Amino acid sequence: MQVNETLTDIVRGRTIELVTKEEGLVTIVFNDRSTMLVKVAGGPTPNMLGEGRIELVEEDGAEFILFGENDRRATLRLAAPGSSVTVRNNVGVVEYAG
């Protein structure tokens, strides 16, 4: 696994407020009203992070892992590695696309 340093720098310390899961899409809303959209392969996945802060993001091909506080983690399978994650700030400006 490799740390996605760019994405980690953007989301580290943000606190998850809400996670919604639909077929093919996981949306994470942070307490500052920024959002992370992750296009995933397969059905919805459980939120193993709770409402804690993000500490690290790792990526290896289609495997995408979010690490949170208290050793919590969520592993997602990306729909298309390299182009399945978008982070927007609280006014909708794209901070990360990859």
> Can you give the residue ranges of every domain in the chain?
2-97
Tokens of 33: 């009203």
Mean pLDDT of the chain: 91
* pTM for this predicted structure: 0.90
Q: How many helices (H) and strands (E) does the chain have?
A: 1, 9
21-57: per-residue pLDDT in tens? 888 999 999 999 999 999 999 755 665 777 889 999 9
Antiparallel, parallel or unpaired: β 16-22 and 2-3: unpaired
Q: DSSP letter at 81?
A: T
59-75: per-residue pLDDT in tens? 999 999 999 998 888 88
